[in-house]
Structures are given as structure tokens and as C-alpha cells.
């Protein structure tokens, strides 16, 4: 939890400080269910903070760092991932902007394991030229833990804000 708070503070500092990346940094937060894809799986709940950085605002390729805290029956799972993001081109009047995302990360619940993730999502404008956008995404996570692979599917809904305007 402490790392999630630190990540949120870093994102806030990026958002309010003058930076050569202004207009190219997007931060956000979301939450949703996480479905275990294991035999006898179940459903947990997660919260996520995110920071996306792109060279140019309309560049189709961006990089995103996510911090997720998944609340489980046992010890909670902290996830930190670095991801590549590809925004599909849409017409200038399109309201929905789909994207694909994938990367690797660290999964910690007392021990630390490596994992990969891949998925898809979309952003939706709130109003006119607002710097805020809603997003929804689903990602498959494969966690390589102690000789076996744990699979899960978090679905996240949240809001993102473009820094600097």
C-alpha cells in the first residue's frame, strides 16, 4: 500500500510541475474485479494507479507504468508493471479510442515473482476537449510463481487526466 501511495505522489508531482513532457504525461486511477483463471478460482477486487508517457500527445506508441493493489483472502498482492501501449488510429470525430497494452512486472505478496501481461482497452472523452477521459480495459496476467504459472484477468474502469494544458 505504501508503494501505491508513493506512486500517486510521484504522478501528482509530474502533473503540477512544469516539465518538457507537459501535455504528454497522463495519470489516472481505476478499480474493478480480478478473476482468477485457475481451477476453483474466484474473484478479488483491485485498485490501480497509472502513469503514461508519450513523446507526442497523438503518437500511437506510449509507455505506461501501473501500480495495482489486489485485495485477496490471503495476503494482498501488489503489482508493478512497465508496459508498451499502442493506440489504434481512429477518425478525428471518433469518441472511442481503442488501444492494446502489454508488458512485464513484479508481483509481490510476501514473496516476489515475475510476470507478464497483455490486453486491450479504450478511452472515452468526458466532455468536449476536457483533459479527462474515462477508460476501461481487460488484461491477462501470467505470474511465474514457485514452479507454476498463476493466471488472472483484471478488468479495470477508471479515469485518466492529461497533465499540462
Rg (CA), the chain: 16
**pLDDT score of 102 more than 70:** yes
- pLDDT tens digits, one per residue of 11-62: 444 444 444 444 478 999 999 999 999 888 899 999 999 999 877 666 789 9
Span 138-163, average pLDDT: 94
For residue 75, the model assigns a pLDDT of: 86
Residue in this structure with the C-alpha cell 504522478, named with its chain if needed: 11
pTM given for the model:
0.81
- pLDDT tens digits, one per residue of 148-157: 999 999 999 9
For residue 127, the model assigns a pLDDT of: 79
Identify the CATH number of the domain defined by range 2-162: 2.40.160.20
For residue 45, what are the contacts with CB-CB under 8 A and spacing of at least 6? Answer: 31, 32, 33, 34, 70, 71
- pLDDT tens digits, one per residue of 50-95: 999 877 666 789 999 999 999 998 889 999 999 999 999 888 777 8
More confident of the two residues 45 and 146 = 45
Span 89-105, average pLDDT: 89
CB under 8 A, 24+ apart: contacts of 124-133? 124/95, 124/96, 124/97, 125/95, 126/159, 131/161, 131/162, 131/165, 132/159, 132/160, 132/161, 132/162, 133/97, 133/159, 133/160, 133/162
- Which grid coordinates belong to 110? 510476501
- Which grid coordinates belong to 88? 489504434
- Which grid coordinates belong to 99? 488501444
For residue 126, the model assigns a pLDDT of: 85
Amino acid at each position: 500500500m505504501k508503494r501505491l501511495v508513493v506512486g500517486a505522489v510521484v504522478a501528482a508531482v509530474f502533473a503540477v510541475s512544469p516539465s518538457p513532457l507537459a501535455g504528454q504525461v497522463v495519470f489516472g486511477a481505476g478499480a474493478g474485479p480480478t478473476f482468477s483463471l485457475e481451477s476453483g478460482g474466484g474473484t478479488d477486487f483491485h485498485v490501480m494507479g497509472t502513469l503514461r508517457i508519450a513523446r507526442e500527445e497523438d503518437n500511437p506508441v506510449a509507455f505506461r507504468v501501473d501500480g495495482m493493489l489486489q485485495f485477496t483472502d490471503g495476503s494482498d498482492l501488489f503489482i508493478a508493471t512497465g508496459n508498451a501501449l499502442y493506440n489504434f488510429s481512429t477518425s478525428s470525430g471518433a469518441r472511442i479510442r481503442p488501444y492494446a497494452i502489454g508488458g512485464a512486472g513484479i508481483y509481490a505478496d510476501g514473496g516476489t515473482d515475475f510476470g507478464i501481461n497483455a490486453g486491450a482497452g479504450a478511452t472515452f472523452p468526458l466532455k468536449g476537449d476536457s483533459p479527462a477521459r474515462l477508460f476501461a480495459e481487460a488484461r491477462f496476467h501470467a505470474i511465474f510463481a514457485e514452479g507454476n504459472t498463476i493466471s488472472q484477468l483484471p478488468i479495470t474502469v477508471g479515469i485518466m487526466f492529461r497533465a499540462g494544458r
